[in-house]
Amino acid sequence: MKKLISASQLMKSYKTRCVVDHIDVDINEGEIVALVGTNGAGKTTTIGMLLGIIPQDSGAIKYWTSEYKKEIGTQLQTTPFFEGYSVEDNLKLFAAFYGVSLTKMLIDEKLAAFDLLQVKKMPAIKLSLGQQKRLAIIVTTLHNPKLVILDEPSAGLDPRGQREIQHIIKRLKDSGVSVLFSSHDMLEVMNVADRVLMMHHGKIIANGSPDSLMEHYQTQNLEELFFELTM
């Protein structure tokens, strides 16, 4: 299986606090990887280092291509939509930044696929949280990236909104896109992830498929496993 990202011994400290403690992270082609942990575990810092926007103090990161920044789509916890512009116009503006040409038909197709066609004339900042999350993922994939990285994409959503995001992540994989997403929702991870990286106090404490981890540690679910490993 081709590795898209291979990071070894990544470490990051802020003053005297080590937030990521010499971890190894691999992202393979064609898989959905969940980075799991409580708030403050080091998930967002890890994502920032993998994206190259937070410099690591030590360790190395190898990418499958020197042009990786053009091949990765990123959705952080908030997406700064252009105030005063409609959903449709926001897509046009972001597409221009990516150097992508969007026809009216293509815009409608993308919005329809994410159940947003009916709100395309609304100001983007007036959308519900769930709608904004879905729009943010469209923006993330405008340039047809090979890898998409999502930082807690379903945070703050109700169960229906969470399920919609889970379906979107699965559809991304079905379309040939690899996905790394962070979460602290173990049920969501069970439903979506091919592989789980569990973080605690800046360390990777477990790495494997949900089924293999539960079998190895003899637990009924990932939540039970996480509590067992972090007690």
Mean of the per-residue pLDDT values of the chain: 94
Would you say 143 and 70 are in contact if contact means Cβ atoms under 8 Å apart? yes
What are 52's two structure tokens? 């190259």
In the numeric block, the tokens 């990887």 are attached to 33
Local confidence band at 194 (pLDDT 50, 70, 90 cut-offs):
very high
More confident residue, 16 or 118: 118
CA distances from 223 to 37, 81, 189, 214, 219 (A): 10, 34, 10, 10, 9
For 203-226, write each residue's pLDDT tens digit.
999 999 999 999 999 999 999 999
pLDDT for residue 62: 97
pLDDT of 77 > 90? The answer is no
Mean pLDDT of 150-172: 93
For 31-67, write each residue's pLDDT tens digit.
999 999 988 899 999 999 999 999 999 999 999 999 9
The secondary structure element, H or E, covering residue 197 is strand 195-200
pLDDT for residue 201: 94
pLDDT of 68 > 90? The answer is yes
pLDDT for residue 40: 87
pLDDT for residue 231: 81
SS3 76: coil
Mean pLDDT of 167-186: 94
pLDDT for residue 35: 97
Q: Which residues contact 162 (CB under 8 A, 6 or more apart)?
A: 154, 185, 188
For 101-141, write each residue's pLDDT tens digit.
999 999 999 999 999 999 999 999 999 999 999 999 999 99
Q: Which residues contact 90 (CB under 8 A, 6 or more apart)?
A: 81, 82, 124, 135, 139
Question: DSSP letter string over 112-179?
Answer: HHTT-GGGTTSBGGGS-HHHHHHHHHHHHTTT--SEEEEESTTTT--HHHHHHHHHHHHHHHHTT-EE
What are 212's two structure tokens? 């293999």
Q: Count of residues for the chain?
A: 231
CB count in 10 Å sphere of residue 1: 8
> How does 123-159 read in b/e, with b if 16+ C-beta sit within 10 Å?
bbeebeebbbbbbbbbbbbbbebbbbbbbbbbbebee
pLDDT of 78 > 80? The answer is no
pLDDT of 200 > 80? The answer is yes
